[in-house]
Each structure stands twice: as structure tokens, then as C-alpha cells.
Amino acid sequence: MTIVVAGSMRFPPEAMSEARPYLAARVSETRAGDGCVEYNAGEDVNDPGLLRFSEILPDDALLMADLQAPHIAPWRAVAAWLGVSDRRFTAFDATHPRPV
């Protein structure tokens, strides 16, 4: 099984300069996690304050473990402090992927 997670979070544009170091740490910590195939986060160049995320994991168990990882709670606390809104994430079963 392969799990693909796609999502986004919105911050006030003026909070982005303060959010970037925390985001960089979150990306590094997630990429270093056991079993993470790929993890990416980036700012939408056409929509200031919008962050987009993508992640590939080998199975649901690792996704559930990742959501409980030690670095998640501090990231969520910082995001709340910086005014995060409109948080949307969806996991997809990509067991039979194909290039498009």
C-alpha cells in the first residue's frame, strides 16, 4: 500500500517570515522519520500565506504514527500562535499509482 497525503494551511501573510523557520524544522524532522518516502511543503507563490503540503508513506500505520510524532504537537502550537486557519489535509490510497 502507498499513502499520499495532500493538504494546505493558511497563515496571515504577515506571519510567514516568523513561520518559515518552524516550517523548515517540521519538514526536516518529518523527512528524518522512519519510513517517510517523501515530504514537501511550500508557499503558494500566487496566494500569500498559503502553505501546501504533500507526503508519501508506505502504509496507514506509519501515517497514524507520524501524526503522533513528538514534533507534531509543538508545530501545531506554533501554528495556532501564528494564526493558522483553513487547515485541510486528505490521505489517499495510492496502491496502484501511474504517471500522468
Q: 32-84, pLDDT tens digit by residue?
A: 877 889 999 999 999 999 999 999 999 999 999 888 888 889 999 999 999 99
User: What is residue 88's predicted lDDT score, i.e. its pLDDT?
Assistant: 96
Q: Does residue 17 carry a pLDDT above 90?
A: yes
**pLDDT at res. 96:** 85
Question: Does residue 29 surpass a pLDDT of 90?
Answer: no
CATH 3.40.190.150 fits 3-93, yes or no: no
Distance, in Å, from the CA atom of 23 to the CA atom of 15, rounded to the nearest integer, reads: 12
Looking at residue 98, its pLDDT comes to 84
**Distance (Å, whole) CA 8 – CA 93:** 18
Is the whole model's pTM more than 0.85, yes or no?
A: yes
Length of the chain, please? 100
